[in-house]
């Protein structure tokens, strides 16, 4: 049975240490402990479950190659989460930009996601275009500002606002 099953920080420490030594059992344990959360992240950023699993794979290759950068093993979950998000950004950043309608579109009303179930929200997200989905996630879920989103996706503030507005409209439509 899995030696690392208990989730306290001691277990994490052993997991991380083992992964630094490229120990396969430790890697498996780390994966088992973090995969459902990581898959959840990928499901939000990807267009489909298949794309999400590809993104998950890429993400874990990065996780295991960079595990040496994790100083505090107690922060394992947060760290894996951020590696997954950054991987998602890098993967999705490639997508071409849709043509922007106008230069100065005002931001539409914020969409309150509280009333909805996460799985419904994610299902609605999969109906957005890749760019809209990326921007919507970074702004609404990760909580980045428009400026930060623009910087991380390497576009302009205007583009981000346009994507965000479109995403909100589509989400509103899909969730109602």
Helix, strand, coil shares of the chain as percentages rounded to 5?
Answer: 70, 0, 30
Which position among 37, 72, 97, 100 is part of the footprint of another protein (CB under 8 A)? Answer: 37
Q: For residues 45 and 134, is the Cβ–Cβ distance under 8 A? A: yes
Structure tokens at 175: 């969730």
Q: Shortest Cβ distance from residue 87 to another protein (Å)?
A: 9
Structure tokens at 110: 């914020």
How many residues interact with another protein (rule CB under 8 A)? 36
Q: Shortest Cβ distance from residue 168 to another protein (Å)?
A: 17
158 lines the binding site for another protein (CB under 8 A)? no
Taking alpha carbons only, the member of 98, 76, 81 closest to residue 44 is 81
107 lines the binding site for another protein (CB under 8 A)? no
Taking alpha carbons only, the member of 173, 101, 167 closest to residue 140 is 167
1 lines the binding site for another protein (CB under 8 A)? no
3 lines the binding site for another protein (CB under 8 A)? no
164 lines the binding site for another protein (CB under 8 A)? no
Q: How far is CA 22 from CA 17, 28, 163, in A?
A: 9, 11, 41
Residues engaged in binding another protein (CB under 8 A):
24, 27-28, 31, 35-37, 39-41, 43-44, 52-53, 56-57, 60-61, 64-65, 68-69, 77-78, 81, 86, 90, 93-94, 113-114, 118-119, 122, 141, 154
């Amino acid at each position: 049975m899995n030696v690392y099953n208990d989730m306290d920080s001691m277990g994490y420490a052993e997991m991380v240490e083992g992964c630094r030594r490229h120990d396969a059992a430790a890697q498996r344990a780390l994966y088992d402990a973090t995969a459902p959360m990581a898959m959840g992240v990928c499901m939000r950023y990807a267009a489909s479950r298949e794309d999400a699993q590809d993104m998950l794979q890429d993400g874990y290759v990065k996780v295991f190659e960079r595990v040496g950068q994790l100083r505090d093993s107690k922060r394992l979950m947060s760290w894996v989460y951020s590696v997954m998000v950054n991987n998602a950004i890098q993967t999705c950043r490639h997508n071409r930009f849709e043509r922007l309608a106008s230069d100065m579109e005002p931001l539409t009303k914020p969409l309150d996601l509280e009333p909805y179930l996460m799985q419904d929200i994610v299902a609605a997200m999969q109906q957005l275009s890749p760019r809209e989905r990326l921007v919507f996630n970074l702004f609404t879920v990760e909580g980045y500002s428009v400026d930060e989103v623009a910087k991380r996706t390497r576009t302009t503030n205007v583009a981000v606002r346009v994507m965000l507005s479109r995403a909100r409209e589509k989400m509103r439509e899909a969730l109602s």
